Amino acid sequence: MGGESGEALPIHRLAPSTKGILLGIIIVLLIVLAPQIFFIVPQQNVYIIERLGKFNRTVGAGLNIKIPFFETIAAKVDMRTRQEQFGIDAKTRDNVTVTMAIAAQYRVSAQPAANGQPSGVWRSYYMLANPTAQMRSYLIDALRSSVPQYTLDEVFDKKDAIASDVNQTVSGLMVAYGYDVVSTLITSIDLPADVEQSMNRINSAQREKEAAQSLAEAERIKVVTEARARAEAMEQAGRGIAAQRKAIADGISESLAVIKSSGVSAAEANQLFIFTQWTDMMSEFARNGRQSTVVLPSDFTATASMFEQMLVAQETEGADEFVIVEEEEK
């Protein structure tokens, strides 16, 4: 009898109820083991798979499978850029201690394995337990080596260049551990209270000095401009007086020539000319209504010097009134 021989029956010869039980067991096993077999890796993530406790491979974003019980997900590595912020104290070349706020951006290197060298993901997980602490130590050491090369003013002026040099140095060190230091920024520089107060006083004094210099320069320009204007006015006035005197001299010369041509002696011609100018001057004084006092000598021969004085008086401003007084003969 086939049924009594103890041989296993093929599945297709099993009873329908037995087939249903087996199918149910298989479905339950698949449901239970599915999470152990199938897994999804999110975007910008890389999973490290170990087989029996030893690195096997890395898998990227999407649906992936692994052997249950034999393979495990050892690490979920985030490939996005992260930021670490901290503060340090450093001393400048002129012995001023400054507190700097540092912001460092870094990420796991996406460099693949090549030439027997492990990938950046492998190094980031297996070579460094605390990458942020290590990176911070490198940054602090680099900054404390760089800042003392500069004075306080230079640190403020060149903080971006200092940060760039430090970033280049630390990036070269961290790449060995599977990390790329994207950028390093010095976000702020704080000074001790006494130094800050001193700088504020210096800046205030500098601003006052610049304001005083500006005012002095403006005053100097004003004075120079006014002096130039006065000089130009005096020059023009001098030219006018010179032209006037030349015209007078020319007129006197012509008048004397006419008088002499009439046969009068030189002395008589001079006396006649002086008398003529005298009467003209008196008429001018009377016509202008000025009331300045003029002392007339009793001797007409002394009028030559008086004539010159009256010419000067006529040109003087403020001589508003002439009064002619005849000097008594002594």
Q: What pLDDT does residue 326 have?
A: 45
Strand partners, 77: 46
Judge contact between 63 and 40, C-beta under 8 A.
Answer: yes
Q: What pLDDT does residue 211 have?
A: 77
10-residue mean pLDDT profile of the chain (330 residues): values are: 48 64 81 84 95 93 91 93 92 90 94 88 92 93 93 91 94 93 93 71 73 83 85 78 72 70 66 68 63 54 55 51 45
Residues 6+ apart with CB under 8 A from 48: 55, 58, 73, 74, 75, 77, 121, 122, 125
Q: What pLDDT does residue 4 have?
A: 47
Q: What pLDDT does residue 319 have?
A: 44
Q: What pLDDT does residue 100 have?
A: 93
Using CA atoms, how far residue 153 sits from 102, 145, 147, 157, 199, in Å, is 19, 17, 11, 6, 11
Q: Two tokens at 187?
A: 């976000």
**10 Å Cβ neighbour count for 79?**
17
Of the candidates 79, 60, 100, 86, the residue with the CA atom closest to the CA atom of residue 182: 79
Give the C-alpha separation, 33 to 31, whole Å: 6
**DSSP class of 301:** G
Q: Report residue 51: phi and psi, to 5°.
A: -115, 115
